[in-house]
Amino acid sequence: MMKRMLGKGFAAVFCAAGFCAISGAALAQENVALPLDEAGAETIALSDAGVAEADVSRLRTVREREDGEDVVEVEFSYGDNSYEYMLRETDGMILEWSIEGRAVEEATPELTLTGDAASSGAQKTDASGEAQTEQDASAEGQTDAGAADGNAAGAAAGSAVKVTVDGTELIGYEEAVQIALDDSGIAEADAELAKLKFEYDGRFYDYELELRDGRAEYEYKIDAQTGEIVEVERD
């Protein structure tokens, strides 16, 4: 197994797809009592994943103590994928989620990570005052990036789709996947996404993902604030 560590200064690039601006968890929490009990945690996790309780299997919920905090962990299976959530008991914030299985790339959950809503609305306003959708804004950003002749830092700063988690601005998970694809050189059409995970440990926000291309397997850890590749392993 080959392992390399990349230094600071890696600039994030961005993907064409927009990121959900309204959190299912935020909506769910309006009707969830705090501190969280097992039922409340299930409501938030299932809503964030965009699935109904009747459609999942192996639903399991437990209370734990993690890094000095009381948390509630929710696990379930939906289709060919397994989901895991860890929520902070005091406010219902999603500290961690992961999807793993044979069809991760087909999962369509919101996964906006937080109980206090995401940053940008469904629309932005361009310089002329006309509204644009997130996808339009992202597509324009791609055009700008191409004109920048490889200046990813400037492109990312001006046009990357962002979300806000607990008051901290992060890149969306779709952008993290694109960063890994670009670094690995795997064409999106040839890539199999076998695992996707978000984690907040009280200090750092990270995405972890596993890409496969035939017999090659890549595991990435990406800083969700900066888009920097923290660690990559190739097997």
Q: Is the pTM of this model over 0.75?
A: no
- Distance, in Å, from the CA atom of 92 to the CA atom of 86, rounded to the nearest integer, reads 9
CA dihedral (155, 159, 163, 164) positive or negative: positive
Residue 232 and residue 177 share a domain: yes
* Same domain for 186 and 230: yes
My answer on whether omega of the bond before 35 falls inside 30° of 0, hence cis, is yes
Examine the pLDDT at 114 and tell me if it is beyond 50: no
The answer to whether residue 143 is domain-embedded is no
- The total number of structural domains that make up the chain: 2
Domain contains 133: no
Q: State the CATH number of the domain containing residue 3.
A: 3.10.450.40
Is 81 found in the same domain as 60?
A: yes
Domain membership of residue 123 (yes or no) is no
Q: Among residues 93, 104, 52, which one has the least CA distance to residue 70?
A: 93
Residues 7 and 55 in one domain: no
Q: Which of 203, 14, 190 is nearest to 218 (CA)?
A: 190
Range from 106-115, 144-153, 221-230 that averages highest in pLDDT: 221-230
Range of the domain at 31: 22-117
What pLDDT score does 111 carry? Answer: 52
Q: 207 in a domain, yes or no?
A: yes
DSSP assignment of 109-153 equals: ------SS--SS-SEEE-TTS-EEEHHHHHHHHHHHHHHTTT-HH
CB hemisphere CA count around 188 (13 angstroms): 9
- 72 and 33 housed in the same domain: yes
Report the range of poorest mean pLDDT among 140-149, 191-200, 216-225.
140-149
**Do 28 and 107 belong together in one domain?**
yes
In a domain, 134, yes or no: no
Both 45 and 72 in a single domain?
yes
Average pLDDT over residues 28-45: 88
167 and 111, same domain (yes or no): no
My answer on whether 78 and 10 are in the same domain is no
Q: Which helix (H) or strand (E) holds 83?
A: strand 81-88
Same domain, 36 and 92: yes
